[in-house]
Amino acid sequence: MKNTSHRLAVWAGVVGVILLIPLFFTIRDGGVEGVGWNWTLFDFVWMGILLFGAALVYELVIKKMGSGMYRAAGALAVATSVLLVWINGAVGIIGNDTGANLLYFGVLVIGAIGAIVAHFQPRGMASALFAMACAHALVPVIVLLIWKPDITVDIFGVVMLNAFFVMLFVASGFLFRRAAGKK
C-alpha cells in the first residue's frame, strides 16, 4: 500500500508539472479571451482531474494486470482516451459548439463497459478496444449522413482526425491480443 501511495504522489507531482505548462502560457498571454492560451481555473481543475484520473486507472488497474505488453496496451488505450476527451473538450472534433461531439463520449462508455465485462482480461480488452475503434469510426458517419448538422468544418480534417483515433484504438487492441497470447 505504501508503494502505491508513493507512486500516486509521484503521479500527482507529474500532473502538477504538466499543468505548469499551460499556466506559464496563460500568464504570458495575459489570459485575454481569444489570444493564445487563456485557461480558466475550471480548465486547470478539469485537466488535473482528467490527467490524475488517467494515472489512477493506470496505477490501480492496468499496472497490476501482468505483462509489459498488457501495460503498453493499457497505457495506449488510456492515453488515447485522455487525448480524445482533451481535444473534444477544448475545441471539439466535429466543430466547436456542436452536440455531435457528445457522441464521442459513447465511445468511451463502450470501452468502459467492455473492460468491466472482460474483467480486464487481455482477450476481452482487445475486443473492447476493437469495439471502441468501430464505434469511433461510426461517429462521423452518423453525424454526416443521419444527423446532418449544419457544419462548416473541414470534412477531410474530421475524417483524418477520426482515422488517427481509430488507429490508436486498433493498435491498443492488437497489443492486448498479443498480451493474451503470452499468458
Q: What is the pLDDT of residues 55-84, one digit of tens each?
A: 988 887 777 777 889 999 999 999 999 999
Kindly state the average pLDDT of the residues 155-177: 94
Same domain for 109 and 71: yes
Give the mean pLDDT of the chain: 87
pLDDT top residue among 162 and 158: 162
For 135, the grid coordinates are: 464505434
- Cβ density class 65-88: b for 16+ within 10 Å, e for less: eeeebbbbbbbbbbebbbebbeeb
pLDDT score, position 73:
94
Determine how many CB atoms are found less than 10 A away from the CB of residue 180: 19
Same domain, 84 and 132: yes
Nearest to 78 by CA among 108, 48, 45: 108
Angle between helices 2-28 and 41-57 (to 10 degrees): 150
Statement to judge: residues 71 and 61 lie in one domain: no
Assess whether pLDDT exceeds 80 at residue 43.
yes
Which ranges of 91-121 would DSSP assign to H, the alpha helix? Answer: 103-117
Say if residue 108 is in the same domain as residue 118: yes
Measured from the Cβ of residue 45, the count of other Cβ atoms closer than 10 Å reads 11
Output the furthest CA–CA distance in the chain (Å, rounded).
54
pLDDT for 152 equals 61
Please tell me whether residues 141 and 91 are part of one structural domain: yes
Report DSSP state, residue 150: -
**Domain closes at, from 15, 41, 65:** 65
Q: Please give the DSSP secondary-structure letter assigned to residue 70.
A: H
Is residue 170 scored above 90 in pLDDT? Answer: yes
Residues 162 and 74 occupy one common structural domain: yes
| DSSP assignment letter at 163 | H
Q: What is the mean pLDDT of residues 24-43?
A: 79
Q: Which of 45, 65, 85 is the last residue of a domain?
A: 65
Band (pLDDT 50/70/90 cuts) for residue 97 is low
Indicate if 146 and 88 belong to the same structural domain. Answer: yes
pLDDT at 104: 94
149 band by pLDDT with thresholds 50, 70 and 90: low
Where in the sequence is the domain holding 58, given as residue range(s)? 1-65
pLDDT for 183 beyond 90: no
Q: Is the pLDDT of residue 27 over 60?
A: yes
Q: Are 123 and 177 in contact (CB under 8 A)?
A: yes
Same domain, residue pair 25 and 48: yes
> Residue 98: what pLDDT?
67
73 and 158, same domain (yes or no): yes
Q: Regarding predicted confidence, which is higher, 179 or 32? A: 179
Q: What is the pLDDT of residue 157?
A: 84
Tell me: do 141 and 93 sit in the same domain.
yes
Q: At what angle do helices 122-141 and 103-117 cross, to 10 degrees?
A: 160
Q: Are residues 37 and 73 in the same domain?
A: no
Between CA 183 and CA 28 the distance in angstroms is 51
Coil, strand or helix: which one is 152? Answer: coil
Please identify, among 65, 90, 114, the residue that sits at the C-terminal boundary of a domain.
Answer: 65
Counting the structural domains of the chain, the total is: 2
pLDDT of 127 > 90? The answer is yes
Regarding whether 91 and 177 lie in a shared domain, the answer is: yes
Average pLDDT over residues 146-152: 64
What gap in Å lies between CA 6 and CA 8, rounded to an integer?
A: 5
